[in-house]
Amino acid sequence: MAEIATAILMVIGGAFMLLAGIGIFRMPDLFMRMQAATKAATLGIGCMLLAVAIHFQDVSVATRALLVTAFVFMTAPVAAHVIARAAYSVGVPLWEGTLRDELGEKQRGGEGKGKESAGGGSAYGGSSLRSDGDGQ
């Protein structure tokens, strides 16, 4: 019984991890890549660690597995958030299919500038990171 549960959890976990990989590989802009990657991977790890906890049937292992799970669930969204925030602030572009950018609209309104393209508004006016981290 435990074996089957372990196996299923592992396969599911693996599948999510694969999904995360595909997501980050395929999605068209940074934000959607993050959307895909962070959550799928977190879920995948959750499954894996659950499998570990079940498989070893040992309190200390299970505790640690749960601890790691909790930790990952705690940190993953924050990590995603800080990167997204930073990326947005330096003007990493949104996908062209993006419908509307209410944050950008507000900022443009505040600064009284009329930039058109989605995601074109950089909070700090920095645009150097658009294509690469630190220029060429």
Partner 1 sequence: MSLLGLVQQSFQGTVSMDLLTAVVAAFVAAAIVPILYPLLRQATGWFLGLATLGLFGYFARFLGSLPPGGITASREWIPSLGFRFSFLLDGLSLLFALLITGIGALILIYAGGYLGGHKGLGRLYVLLLVFMGSMVGLVLADNLFTMFVFWELTSVSSYLLIGFDHERAEARAAALKALLVTGGGGLAMMAGVLLLGQMGIEAGLAPEVCFEVSQLNTVGPAIKENAFYLPILLLILAGAFTKSAQFPFHFWLPAAMEAPTPISAYLHSATMVKAGVYLLARLSPILAGTVEWLWIVSSVGAITMFWGAFISVRKTDLKQILAYSTVSALGLLMLLLGLGSPAAIAAAVTFVLVHALYKGALFMVAGIIDHEVGTRNIQRLGGLARVMPVTAVAAGLAAASMAAVPPLFGFIGKELFYESTLHGPARVLVTTVAFLTSMLFVAIAIMTGVRPFLGAMTDDTRRAHNAPMSLWLGPATLAGLSLVLGLAPFLLDQPLLAIAHQNVLGDVIDAEHFESLHLALWHGWNFTLALSGFTLVAGCVVYLQRDIFRALPPHFGRWTTDGFYDMVLAGMNSVAKVQTSVLQSGYLRYYLLMIYLTATGLVGYTAATRTNLTLKWDWSDIRFYEWGLCVLIMLGSLFSAYSRSRLTSIAGLGVVGYCVALLFVFYGAPDLAMTQILIETLSVILFVFVFYHLPPSKKLSGPFTRLRDIVVAIAIGGIATILVLQAEQVKYFTPISQFFVENSVPKAHGRNIVNVILVDFRGLDTMGEITVLAVAAVGVYALLKLRPQGGKA
Partner 2 sequence: MPSLILRTTTRFMMPLLLLFSLFLLWRGHNEPGGGFVGGLVGASAFILYTLSFSVQATRDALAFDSRSLIGVGLMLALTAGIMPLTQGQPFLAHRNFWVKLELPGFGQLDLGTPLMFDIGVYLVVFGVALTIVLTLTEE
Partner 3 sequence: MIMFLWNLLLAIIWAIAVGSLTLPSLMAGLVLGYLSLFFCRRVLGESNYFGKVPQVLRFIIFYIRQVILSNLRVAYDIVTPTHYMRPGVVAVPLDAKTDMEITLFANLMTLTPGTLSLDLSEDRTILYVHTMYIDNNDFVLTRRLIKEGLERRVLEVLR
Q: Within 10 A of 93 (CB to CB), how many other CB atoms are there? A: 18
Q: Within 13 A of 78's CA, how many CA atoms are on the CB side?
A: 5
Q: CA 114, CA 136: separation in Å to the nearest integer?
A: 28
Q: CA 18, CA 5: separation in Å to the nearest integer?
A: 20
Please give the structure tokens belonging to residue 8. 């299923």
Nearest distance, CB of residue 32 and partner 1, angstroms: 20
Q: Within 13 A of 126's CA, how many CA atoms are on the CB side?
A: 14
- The site map against partner 1 for 93-132 (x = CB under 8 A) is ---------------------------------------x
Residues that bind partner 1 (CB under 8 A): 132-136
Residues that bind partner 3 (CB under 8 A): 16, 19, 22-23, 26-29, 31-32, 34-36, 38-40, 42-43, 59, 62-63, 73-74, 76-78, 80-81, 84-85, 88-89, 94-95, 97-104, 106
Residues that bind partner 2 (CB under 8 A): 67, 71, 74-75, 78, 81-82, 85
